[in-house]
Amino acid sequence: MAEISSVVDWFGPYRSLKDARTVARQDFGGGLYAAIGWSKIEGRSPNQYRGRPTLQYIGIAENLGGRLTETHHKIGLRGNIEIASIWLGEVASYGVPGRRRKKIEPHLDIVEWATAFFLRTQYNEMKRTPPRCSCFVLNRWWSTDYETSIDRPVSRWADVIEYNIYTGSANLCWFGRNGRVKSIDNAMAYGRAAINQEMKSKSLLPASITDDELV
C-alpha cells in the first residue's frame, strides 16, 4: 500500500463530553476525537490524580455526535479517563480549516493508528503494533471558532508523525521555539517497549505515560 498522507485539523477544547457531543451533532459527521485527561485511580479523588493531563485516547466514528455519549467504554461515565478536554478532528480539505462535508474519511483509521501507536495513548490498547502502511500525519489545532490557530493542547502531541513501513523507522516532530525531533529506528521494538511498560505499571499505580518518558 502506498504512503497515506493526511493533514488533520483539531478543534477545541471542549471541556465536557456533553459540550463536544453538542458541537459534533451540529457541525460534524464522521471524524476523529481525542480525550485529554488523567487515568482514573480507584479510591482516589480527581485532585489526587498524578501529574498534568495528557493525551489518553484517540478514536474515530462515522457519526461523532452519536459516538460521544456517557456510555462510551473509555471516555464515558464508567470509563477509565477523567476528562480535562475533548478535541474533534477531521482530515483537512485543501488545507483550509472550518466546517466540513459530513462523511467519513478513508484516512481516519491510519491517523488514529499512527497517533495511538507512536504517542502511546494509554487506553488504545489494540494499537500496540505499527500501522499497516507508511504514513505522514500533520496535525493543526484550532479554537472552537474554527478560525483561530492555537498551540498544541499538550506537549507530547507531535505536529508531525512520519512512518516508513519498509525501513521500520519513524520520526516525531514538534515545531516552535522549543522544536525537536524524536527518531525511532525500529517501530516494532518501540511497540514492544510500550507493552512491557504497561505490564510493569499494572503492578503499580495505573499512571499515564509521561511526556518525559515519551521524549
pLDDT for 31-52, tens place per residue? 999 999 998 865 555 555 567 8
Q: pLDDT digits over 143-183, tens only?
A: 999 999 999 999 999 999 999 999 999 999 999 988 999 99
Among 111, 103, 147, which residue's Cα sits nearest to residue 132? 111
* Res 77: pLDDT: 83
pLDDT band at 78 (very low <50, low <70, confident <90, very high): confident
- Ranges of each domain in the chain: 4-214
Q: DSSP letters of the chain?
A: -PPEEEEEEEEEEESSHHHHHHHHHHH-SSEEEEEEEEE--TT--GGGS-SS-EEEEEEEES-HHHHSSTT-TTTSTTSSEEEEEEEEEEE-BTTB-S---SS--TTHHHHHHHHHHHTT-TT-TT--S--SS-EEEEEEEE-TTSS-B---SSTTS-SEEEEETTTTEEEEEE-STT-EEEEES-HHHHHHHHHHHHHHHTTS--PPPPHHHH-
pLDDT exceeds cutoff 90 at 196: no
pLDDT band at 212 (very low <50, low <70, confident <90, very high): very low
* Res 195: pLDDT: 87
- Determine the average pLDDT of the residues in 48-72: 89
pTM comes to 0.85
